[in-house]
Amino acid sequence: MNERSTLKIDEKGHLRIGGADALDLAARFGTPLYVMDEQYIRDMCAAYRTAIEEEYGGNGLVLYASKAFCCTAVYKIVQSEGVGADVVSGGELYTARRAGFPAEKIYLHGNNKLRRELEEAADYGVTVVADAYSELDMLDEICAEKGKILNVLLRVNPGVEAHTHHYIQTAKTDSKFGFSVEGGAAMDFARYALQKKHIALQGFHSHIGSQIFELHSFRLAADKLLSFMADVKNTLGFEAAQLNLGGGFGIWYTDEDAVQSVSDYAAGLKSILREVKEQAAAKGLRAPFLLVEPGRSVVGEAGVTLYTVGAVKDIPGVKKYAAVDGGMFANPRYALYQAKYTAVLAGRAREKATERVSIAGKCCESGDIVCADVQLPPARRGDILAVLSTGAYNYSMASNYNRNLVPPVVLVKDGQADYIVKPQSYEDLVRNDAVPARLR
Ligand SMILES: Cc1ncc(COP(=O)(O)O)c(C=O)c1O
């Protein structure tokens, strides 16, 4: 387990998160329950921000990729740490605005933004990361109507795709995102954007993948993007002011992943920033205003989900299942891509893990597994089970499948715990149901 000051096992063998005993949290708030450690989120934001200050003269901005975990309180936390926000829908933009997030620190993404979303972006004055010709047309039209000029980045593909410890280089990337640098598609897209009167092109964006531990792949992508920026300068006479390298820093889920401290993340970002500075100088470019968009690494390890064990089923010679009161409605990542997690019994966390079990959810799908083949002490009905590193892409991907209630989220700091997302009720489930007159 990746123990640290705000996530540890105490002398009673209980898991403590942000100074609170996980068993007390489960008793007070019920399960399933998402628990978020405020200090970890703050420390990660501060680490990335200071890396830019120390290594890059503050000429940049960290954008928290809020798709990882989005709610009003988290925007307030990251904003107070001097971090901006990457939003990817009108809903995320609305939440960020409601939280009082300043427009100049918001970047709107998406491979198919709706006209309505672009109008909202123009109204609020955020930067748009454009990913289609039709989007540039729509945005130019909207801004002309509103008498505005909007800052825009273009999503491009440097031909580096990275996942975990592997990366590949491709000439043409098969992806719904971005325009390839190789072959000229990105250059054509830039040429087109520069003709638009109500768009102020600021630069380029790329995102090479997620859960990446191999820093070399980020440096390689930066090299390729800076070469592209030099080509754009020579060909189109446009020198980009901004470069956004996206997110993707990997986190610890199981002992197959490296344990990284907060300062390891800062050191990793610094090495990328050094590369950007050196390559920009070598290519005769001004060092661009540099953006990065970490999501998972800011909130992932800050999150723990608490469940109560229910039915335990041993299929002799096959497998043991322990079912919990959650499932794919609260964490669909196993069902989506067989994501791996570490689980502990929150009240018996020091007990020897003698059994291999799969933690099943309560949904009517055989693929509804929370985590497969984890090592645990024998789990019994009523045990509180904690699944670690669930802060990213759990709550944000939750649904009401089988009309289960999306669990609430509590934020813990110095032993104090408060809701940041309140519990749903059955009434919430039927709130938007409508019954046509002929059915009444
Ligand atoms: C454009 C973009 N930026 C940032 C991120 C955040 O990535 P991560 O959560 O891996 O840091 C993503 C994730 O999909 C993304 O698509």
Locate the domains of the chain by residue range.
7-30+302-430, 38-296
The residue with greater pLDDT, 161 or 291, is: 291
> In which band, very low, low, confident or very high, does the pLDDT at 175 lie, cut at 50, 70 and 90?
confident
Which residue among 45, 64, 67 is best mutated to probe the pocket of ligand 1, counting the most ligand atoms within 8 A of its Cβ?
A: 67
pLDDT exceeds 60 at position 91: yes
- Tell which atom from ligand 1 comes closest to the C-alpha of 297: 11
pLDDT exceeds 90 at position 259: yes
- The pLDDT of residue 416: 98
Neighbours of 149 (CB within 10 A): 16
* Contact (Cβ atoms closer than 8 angstroms) between residue 21 and residue 286: no
pLDDT exceeds 80 at position 266: yes
- Report strand pairing: 179-180 vs 199-205: unpaired
pLDDT, the chain, mean: 95
What tokens does 94 get? 């609305």
Distance between Cα 246 and ligand 1 center (Å): 6
pTM: predicted TM-score of the whole model, two decimal places: 0.96
286 contacts: CB under 8 Å, gap ≥ 6: 239, 241, 280
Tens of pLDDT along 147-164? 999 999 999 999 987 776
- The pLDDT of residue 362: 96
> In which band, very low, low, confident or very high, does the pLDDT at 166 lie, cut at 50, 70 and 90?
low
What tokens does 403 get? 């009309």
Distance between Cα 86 and ligand 1 center (Å): 9
Tens of pLDDT along 302-312? 999 999 999 99
Fold of 7-30+302-430: Lyase, Ornithine Decarboxylase; Chain A, domain 1 (2.40.37)
Residues with CB under 6 A from ligand 1: 65, 68, 86, 109, 207, 210, 246-249, 293-297, 392
- The pLDDT of residue 188: 98
Only one residue has tokens 């054509």, namely 188
- Tell which atom from ligand 1 comes closest to the C-alpha of 293: 4
CATH class label, 38-296: alpha beta
Distance between Cα 186 and ligand 1 center (Å): 20
Catalytic residue, from 71, 143, 364, 371: name it. Answer: 364
Q: Quick check: is 45 catalytic?
A: no
Identify the residue whose C-alpha is closest to ligand 1 atom 16.
207
User: Taking residues 171-177, what's their average pLDDT?
Assistant: 69
What percentage of residues in the chain have a pLDDT greater than 70? Answer: 98
- The pLDDT of residue 369: 97
Please give the backbone phi and psi of residue 137, each rounded to the nearest 5 degrees, phi first. Answer: -60, -50
Angstrom distance (rounded) from CA 423 to CA 252: 28
pLDDT exceeds 70 at position 169: no
- The pLDDT of residue 3: 84
> In which band, very low, low, confident or very high, does the pLDDT at 173 lie, cut at 50, 70 and 90?
low
Identify the residue whose C-alpha is closest to ligand 1 atom 5.
247
- The pLDDT of residue 55: 98
- Tell which atom from ligand 1 comes closest to the C-alpha of 250: 10
- The pLDDT of residue 375: 95
Identify the residue whose C-alpha is closest to ligand 1 atom 10.
248
pLDDT exceeds 80 at position 254: yes
User: Taking residues 7-31, what's their average pLDDT?
Assistant: 97
User: Taking residues 250-260, what's their average pLDDT?
Assistant: 94
Residue type, 195: Q
pLDDT exceeds 90 at position 138: yes
pLDDT exceeds 60 at position 377: yes
> In which band, very low, low, confident or very high, does the pLDDT at 255 lie, cut at 50, 70 and 90?
very high
> In which band, very low, low, confident or very high, does the pLDDT at 5 lie, cut at 50, 70 and 90?
confident
What tokens does 262 get? 């907060």
> In which band, very low, low, confident or very high, does the pLDDT at 168 lie, cut at 50, 70 and 90?
low
Neighbours of 270 (CB within 10 A): 16
pLDDT exceeds 60 at position 401: yes
Distance between Cα 410 and ligand 1 center (Å): 24
pLDDT exceeds 90 at position 165: no
- Tell which atom from ligand 1 comes closest to the C-alpha of 209: 10
